[in-house]
Each structure stands twice: as structure tokens, then as C-alpha cells.
Amino acid sequence: QVQLVESGGGLVQAGGSLRLSCAASRNIFSFLAVDWYRQAPGEQREFVARITSDGRTTIADSVKGRCTISRDNAKNTVYLHMDSLKSEDTAVYYCNAVVVTNRITNYWGQGTQVTVSS
């Protein structure tokens, strides 16, 4: 079992920045990947960014150039840093851990709300 706790969301003005954190209950180095997703009201959950166990990153086109994903293995934490926030970035942000044992299992956090005011 893996527990994930997101934090760092809040209300920010357009053009501002936020850093979201995803703290895991065990060593993130053992995860195949950790992803960030977001879901706006009435919309489907959308992929935002991924960092793999070997440090490779993928950023969605919708946030490319404004978001970076990183991790601190010592703190078992993955971060999503967002700059130049826009109103369309308003959503609940979730992290997802992809764990491989004898099968692939996805674990989700409870989410953190990001609201960007224009």
C-alpha cells in the first residue's frame, strides 16, 4: 500500500507561481513513475506531468514551459512547480504513483485545490 498526500494548493493571482508537493508513505525511488493530473469542474482528469524512477520527465503541452516536475528521494516527495499561472489552470491537482510488483498498481492522493484568479 502507498499513501500519497498532496499539499501546496491555494488561491493565487494570474501570473503567479505555486509549488505543489506529493509526499509518499514509502520510498519513491521504488516507484515506476509519479504523475501529476488535474481535474477542473465538469472536465475529465487531465495528465500534467510525469517523473520516472530514472529521472526522466514528461510535461503536457498545455503546461509546457510553465511547469516543472522534480523529486526529493530523501523526503519521498515529488514536486510540481507552476509559473505564469492562468485561470485555466484552476483545478484539483492529484498525484499518482505507478507501482510495479507482480502487476501495475496506481495509487492516488486526495488532491489539492488550485484556484487562479484573473
* Segment 59-107, tens digit of pLDDT: 999 999 999 999 999 999 999 999 999 999 999 999 999 999 889 999 9
Task: Quote the CA–CA distance of 112 and 74 in Å, as a whole number.
Answer: 22
Do residues 98 and 58 make contact, with C-beta atoms less than 8 angstroms apart? no
pLDDT surpassing 90 at residue 28? no
Handedness of CA 27, 29, 30, 32 (dihedral sign): positive
Task: Quote the CA–CA distance of 116 and 106 in Å, as a whole number.
Answer: 28
Q: CA-based angle 91:45:33, to the nearest 5?
A: 105
